[in-house]
Amino acid sequence: MHSASLIALDRHILLAAYFGGSKEGQSDVCVWGNLYNTQNKQWSKAFKLLSASDLSRQAHEFVKILGNPVLYAHKDKLYLFVVGASLGGWATSRIYVLNTPLNKPKALHYEQTLHLSPFLNISHLVRNPPTPTTDGGFILPIYHELARKSPVLLKFDNKAHLQFLLKPNSLKQQLQPSLVPYKHCAFVAFRSYKTTHFYTQTCLDFWHWQPPRLSNLKNFDSANALFNANGELYLIYNQALPKNPNARSALRLARFNATSGTFMPLKILDTSQRGEVSYPAVLIFNNQVHVLYTKERKAIAHLVFNLAYLKSL
């Protein structure tokens, strides 16, 4: 079980989605869901949202493996962006879009395959959720994994139609951008690929981005999650424990200092002595911060704290 996403369906119910099966990249992997009731603090049993064979049948093309589901609620609709690949692993992946009414999460149906390249249209992946824009649309951060490995931002209009795509910088070896609203525009952070460099970037508007900035934190080839709470930026990321060489052995929280442009580590959220605590996803809902993350590749863990506690750190 790996790579969770989380959204609110209504005032009391949250939906989590993640992929699970015998092993990542196997044909038996499906996208699973669980519902969470914020009143009684109970999770439902897991239910299947999508299988590779379901997607193959609906999209009329062969899909062998699934990964990295991303949920988004937009105008009373639930959207699922998911990575699917046919042959050759993630290098041949495409991003598929499914939707359903918000009150019917188990009725997802195929809408489209995102066409992002005039050539083979492969090796585009998604991991982190969209950010809404002031025109009623949203921006979906994705990445191209073949060759250069670069971040890409997709701009959708208020009807969830793709309008533009933009590469915010010319960096190489950067994956899984995490994007959040910040001040008058947005703030983005990039996961590195086989390097410890960790970059952040801010914008003036969608078309105009400041140069990327090397962060004081390092990235050890692991996903991160940015979120904006109380008007401040926070980052959940991985960094190894002192006596454990596994970079994903500790999941940590940091706050961004706008004056210095650096992150201040605040707290270790969870640790693992033998496996990993990784791939965080964050939802701020009813003055609480809900964090989902992979626990040992065997479970999705759920951590909750309120905004007052966050501000006190």
Report the alpha-carbon distance of residue 176 to residue 198 in Å, rounded. 12
| Least confident piece of the model among 143-147, 198-202, 218-222 | 143-147
- Cross-strand pairs, 8: 14
Asked, for residue 7, whether it belongs to a domain, the answer is: yes
User: pLDDT value at position 88?
Assistant: 74
pLDDT of 92 strictly over 90:
no
* Domain ranges, residue 21: 1-126
User: pLDDT value at position 224?
Assistant: 96
Asked, for residue 77, whether it belongs to a domain, the answer is: yes
User: pLDDT value at position 146?
Assistant: 80
Q: Which amino acid is at 218?
A: K
Return the SS3 of 23.
coil
Report the alpha-carbon distance of residue 182 to residue 185 in Å, rounded. 5
Asked, for residue 131, whether it belongs to a domain, the answer is: no
Report the alpha-carbon distance of residue 308 to residue 287 in Å, rounded. 8
Which residues touch 214 (CB under 8 Å, ≥6 apart)? 197, 198, 199
Which residue would you say has higher pLDDT here, 117 or 12?
Answer: 12
Asked, for residue 183, whether it belongs to a domain, the answer is: no
pLDDT of 25 strictly over 80:
yes
Which residue would you say has higher pLDDT here, 243 or 213?
Answer: 213
User: pLDDT value at position 105?
Assistant: 96
C-alpha angle 132/135/137, rounded to 5°? 45
Return the SS3 of 204.
strand
Asked, for residue 156, whether it belongs to a domain, the answer is: no
**Count of structural domains, the chain:** 1
Asked, for residue 111, whether it belongs to a domain, the answer is: yes
User: pLDDT value at position 310?
Assistant: 94
**Percent of the chain surpassing pLDDT 90:** 86
* Confidence band of 41 (pLDDT split at 50, 70, 90): very high
Is the dihedral angle over the CA atoms 109, 111, 114, 120 positive or is it negative?
Answer: positive
* Confidence band of 77 (pLDDT split at 50, 70, 90): very high
Q: Which run of H or of E encompasses 52?
A: helix 52-59
> Average pLDDT over the chain, rounded to whole?
94
Asked, for residue 2, whether it belongs to a domain, the answer is: yes
Instruction: Give me the CATH number covering residue 120.
Output: 2.115.10.20
User: pLDDT value at position 194?
Assistant: 83
User: pLDDT value at position 230?
Assistant: 86
pLDDT of 119 strictly over 80:
no
Which pTM was predicted? Answer: 0.96
- Cross-strand pairs, 226: 235
Asked, for residue 103, whether it belongs to a domain, the answer is: yes
